[in-house]
Amino acid sequence: MKFINKIFFLTLFLTVGICWGNQIEIITTTSHISTIAQEIGQSKIKVSTLIPPGICPGHYEIRPGDIKKLHTNGILLYHGWEGFIDDIKSTVSNANAKLFCIDIPGNWLIPDTQIKAAEKISNILSMLDPSNKGVYLKNLASYTRRMLDLDRKIKNFIQCSKLQGIPVISSEILKDFLNYIGFNVIDTFGKDEELTPNNLKHLIDQAKLFNVKIIISNLQSGTNIGETISRITKKPHVVLSNFPGGFQNTETIEKTIMLNLILLKNAVR
């Protein structure tokens, strides 16, 4: 954020809760937060997202275009692990800005995690716009039912596809999700830039020792490690998306998860 002048950044957050017509305008860091916020807020809010869903959010840096978005709005919803948040906090510490951390642990591809995040976002919207609290609670109840239905659909898909217990090596980011759907995660790897020769040898040895069936990469973390292990072990390589919108026609969490499941099923045929 070298190009950001602290005085300018302080100024851009002075106006908080700008409305777009009758809508509350909210900025989110990722598509996970934005999709939930839109489901809870519906027509009462206008949401924009800073980080494109197909890239690694940990590597994202604030750009001039993002500053333009923030200039008209001081409401920001974020996860807490974004690299630029500390800079924003220090810059606007004395301003009338509203920054809300949606620090829900666990992988957000898991329906229960989605429900917890939705509850927190509903509380935030109700605090910002108490006159529409009933609307947000109603939408939260509807979203909760959808996630419970999704949970049943996922488990039924896994059972019918006979995917339980399949040994895999995967991106560390996806471990919780893969455990949730019943895969046996033998080992994990980090981002492409974190790989060392010793790490690679260990992963290949593990794949052979435990007769791993699939190597699973996370789209947003990079696919080079998974591709390398797959090539050496001659095991199928699958790339999943950890965020809604990472792949085409996956703008909802349901579409994102179901495409991930189909990709996994196709890999073990």
Going residue by residue through the chain, which has 269 residues, state the pLDDT in tens, using 9 for 90 and above: 544 444 444 444 444 454 545 789 999 999 999 999 999 999 999 999 999 999 988 888 877 666 666 655 579 999 999 988 887 777 665 556 689 999 999 999 999 999 999 999 999 999 999 999 999 999 999 999 999 999 999 999 999 999 999 999 999 999 999 999 999 999 999 988 888 999 999 999 999 999 999 999 999 999 999 999 999 999 999 999 999 999 999 999 999 999 999 999 999 87
Cα-based distances in Å from 35 to 122, 233, 240: 13, 38, 18
The pLDDT, as a whole number, for residue 63 is: 74
- Beta strand residue intervals within the chain, DSSP E: 19-20, 23-28, 45-49, 75-78, 98-101, 167-171, 184-189, 214-218, 237-240
Structural domains present in the chain: 6-149 (3.40.50.1980), 162-267 (3.40.50.1980)
The pLDDT, as a whole number, for residue 175 is: 98
Cα-based distances in Å from 104 to 118, 120, 121, 240: 10, 9, 11, 21
The pLDDT, as a whole number, for residue 247 is: 97
The pLDDT, as a whole number, for residue 60 is: 86
DSSP 8-class letter at 222: B
β-bridge pairing 167-171 and 184-189: parallel
Closest by CA to 154, choosing from 191, 183, 187, is: 183
Determine the straight-line distance between the first and last CA of the chain, rounded to whole angstroms. 47
Dihedral sign from CA coordinates of 119, 123, 124, 128: positive
The SS3 of residue 81 is coil
pTM (predicted TM-score): 0.88
Q: Let me know how long the chain is.
A: 269
Give the span between the Cα atoms of 128 and 130, in whole angstroms.
Answer: 6
| Distant-in-sequence, close-in-space partners of 35: CB < 8 Å, separation ≥ 6 | 244, 245, 251, 252, 253
Query: Rounded to 5 degrees, what angle do the CA atoms 215, 222, 242 make?
Result: 80
The pLDDT, as a whole number, for residue 87 is: 75
